[in-house]
A = this chain, B = another copy of it.
Amino acid sequence: MNRQKLIEQIQAKKSCLCIGLDTDIHRIPSQFKSSSDPVFEFNKAIIDATHDLCVAYKPNIAFYESMGISGWKSLEKTLDYIPDDIFTIADAKRGDILNTSTMYAKTYFEYMDFDAVTVAPYMGKDSVTPFLEFTDKWVIVLGLTSNEGSADFQQLQLNSGEMLYEKVIKTVQQWGNPDNLMFVIGATRHEMLADIRSIAPDHFFLIPGVGAQGGDVEQVMLNGRNNDVGMLINSSRNIIYAGTGHDFQEMARSSALSIQHTMAGYIGM
């Protein structure tokens, strides 16, 4: 999906919500346990309940990979089921030397047909650029993450005076452009969001950490958006596990609707 189409979807739905499909077979409602593919059936029910409220779905690849071959089957079926006008992100945090990153890019952009994949920047340019060579595909590079460990290295100060994450965001921008490159910027750091927006005014940010990790949608909308909105705000557990009983679809929809309602106040203003 290209940038223009993504922006149109955001405007049409008055939403920049991304729903994280971190589907853990041990946490889904018991009614799915007898299904031949509980993970896919649960995802299908969540997609049915929420697809008009969000512009992106983000399967967390670890949850599928941990189930081996059956997990990959569930992932492929889930990706096929997501409507074509919704942006899809493989949250994989891959990244390796050039010939290996090329293989990862082929996995997510050719073997599967995701719109975007998340990539870790530690190995530098040749670990990122192979993902940028596909038309209308996106790489989403980790900038400042939402977890406690982001303080360990990302927030170290360089002798240039910059924090490492600032250097990463500035450097990686030179390898792509706002049509094929986004950054992961954790919502738990919303006090830093406005500063990061000034470093990368045009790029989309994928913002995790809303809900289970403590980020606040209103603060993110206030501090992070640009003229195109320029953000995909992700919530995973707070939506997909909003309910655990027979009303889990209503509960998931209600949780997504609450976030979308907040977003709508800031979109198209």
Chain A positions near chain B (C-beta within 8 angstroms): 22, 24, 60, 62-63, 65-69, 72-73, 76, 91, 93-101, 103-104, 106-107, 110-112, 120-128, 142, 145-154, 156-159, 161, 164, 167-168, 171, 213
Q: How far is the CA of A213 from the CA of B126 in the complex (A)?
A: 14
Q: Report yes or no: B124 in contact with A121, Cβ–Cβ below 8 A.
A: no
Known contacts: A93-B94, A93-B96, A106-B66. The answer to whether A147 contacts B123 by CB under 8 A is yes
Q: Which of B65, B96, B126, B161 is close to A62, meaning CB atoms less than 8 Å apart?
A: B96
A168 to chain B, nearest CB (A): 6
- Top-7 shortest CB links A-B: A124-B149, A124-B152, A62-B103, A97-B147, A66-B103, A125-B149, A126-B149
Q: How far is the CA of A148 from the CA of B161 in the complex (A)?
A: 24
Q: How far is the CA of A76 from the CA of B150 in the complex (A)?
A: 33
Known contacts: A97-B146, A100-B22, A159-B159. The answer to whether A154 contacts B65 by CB under 8 A is no
Q: Which of B63, B123, B146, B147 is close to A120, meaning CB atoms less than 8 Å apart?
A: B123
Known contacts: A121-B153, A122-B122, A168-B153. The answer to whether A111 contacts B66 by CB under 8 A is yes
Query: A147 contacts which chain B residues (CB < 8 A)?
Result: 97-98, 123-124, 126-127
Q: Report yes or no: A127 in contact with B107, Cβ–Cβ below 8 A.
A: no
Q: Report yes or no: B142 in contact with A123, Cβ–Cβ below 8 A.
A: yes
Query: A103 contacts which chain B residues (CB < 8 A)?
Result: 24, 60, 62-63, 65-66
Q: How far is the CA of A167 from the CA of B158 in the complex (A)?
A: 12
Residue of B nearest to A93 (CB): B96
Query: A153 contacts which chain B residues (CB < 8 A)?
Result: 121-122, 124, 164, 167-168, 171
Q: How far is the CA of A241 from the CA of B112 in the complex (A)?
A: 28
Q: How far is the CA of A91 from the CA of B146 in the complex (A)?
A: 25
Residue of B nearest to A148 (CB): B126
Known contacts: A120-B93, A124-B153, A153-B167. The answer to whether A69 contacts B66 by CB under 8 A is no
Known contacts: A63-B103, A104-B62, A164-B156. The answer to whether A123 contacts B150 by CB under 8 A is yes
Query: A213 contacts which chain B residues (CB < 8 A)?
Result: 97
Query: A159 contacts which chain B residues (CB < 8 A)?
Result: 157-159, 161
A45 to chain B, nearest CB (A): 21
Query: A93 contacts which chain B residues (CB < 8 A)?
Result: 94-96, 120, 123
